[in-house]
Chain A
């Protein structure tokens, strides 16, 4: 295993986010600390996105609670490999209740991007898709290039889940594109868009 290999992965995370984002707002999106926040803000910020500026390890269970509350809406969690690893047990939790409307995509650059690009366990030995499958997630896979992403998009968007896809992305340093930081605002804009005035009364 090489800790350098991710520098030559063909997929660029900002382009992947552009493909996954649903600016119509129909898909409810939770993004994890931290680079996936910037990716989705660049791809088109909006009240359908709840970016986590902290609470590392919380993106997947937060998506689970949302998916259980909104069974008729597609819920998409996009987070990084470091964030997913910190909450890895939550995949077992997801598998137990198994909401069909939940998809989880891990943008795996094999790095802790916000702290200086230190290698995560996926740079060494960890296989997150195999882990998810072993914990009982019914639909899992690893996407390594554009053709595989094209093939997997319908699964991510529509297939009965829970769906878990690892998307291997280039380890690259990119400019920050920051969403709002105020948590109360982020919560209220999401609930207002989803639930109407009753959501913020």
Chain B
């Protein structure tokens, strides 16, 4: 998954200091790399909404933060995203998608199918990438949109970018 390196390069170029996450297989390399990076504090969350509030707190203190999660986590964030919209905090999340491409687990379908609509309803601009070559430029673009353009933005990473999970079936 070379594209994960492109996200890492983009957040490094932007000067991101805090990376909050709820683990996802698609973000495995990026999370491990951020944990090893002495200039980044990697923060494991118990639920994704914590990452929304944490990113706002980081910005209050002068740090740039991003949130890594999978699509199921978007549903956990909805009310907390009111903080981003009401206070116009810059906000960036990289969302690995489930429920759209060779999904084995039907329980992932409902949130995977409504991720984009949920985010857009909550005032978050969404871009989706399927082509690995687009991940780097799109990552740089949403980081710029957030931290220079003072917006909230999500990059949805299509499920075809991540390994197909089959539970051995």
Q: Which residues of A does B touch, CB under 8 Å?
A: 28, 30, 50, 52-70, 87, 89-90, 92-93, 96-97, 183-184, 186-187, 190-191, 194-195, 199
Which residue of A is nearest B87, CB measured?
A183
Residue count of chain B within 8 Å CB distance of chain A? 33
Q: Are A62 and B53 CB-contacts (below 8 A) given A55-B80, A69-B62?
A: yes
Q: A54-B82, A63-B57, A195-B62 are in contact. Are A93 and B87 (CB under 8 A)?
A: no
Q: How far is the CB of B147 from chain A (nearest CB, A)?
A: 12
Q: How far is the CA of A56 from the CA of B61 in the complex (A)?
A: 20
- Mask: chain B, 79-123; 1 = CB below 8 Å from A; 0 = not: 110110011110000000000000000000000000000000000
Interface set, chain B 1-53, CB cutoff 8 A to A: 17-18, 20, 41, 43-47, 49-53
Tell me whether A65 and B87 are in contact in the complex, defined as CB-CB below 8 angstroms, given that A50-B60, A54-B82, A97-B41 are known contacts: no
Q: List 9 A-B contacts (CB under 8 A).
A: A55-B80, A61-B53, A62-B60, A63-B57, A64-B57, A70-B62, A90-B46, A186-B87, A187-B59
A128 to chain B, nearest CB (A): 16
- Give bound CA distance, A59 to B54, whole Å: 9
**CB within 8 Å for A65 and B79 given contacts A183-B86, A184-B88:** no
Q: Are A52 and B43 closer than 8 Å at their CB atoms?
A: no
Q: Which residues of B contact A28 (CB under 8 A)?
A: 60-61
User: Quick check: is B156 within 8 A (CB to CB) of the other chain?
Assistant: no
Q: Which residue of B is nearest A184, CB measured?
A: B88
B55 within 8 A of A: yes
**B63 contacts chain A at the CB level, 8 A cutoff:** yes
A90: chain B residues within 8 A (beta carbon)? 45-46, 50, 53
Distance in angstroms between the alpha carbons of A187 and B61 in the assembled complex: 10
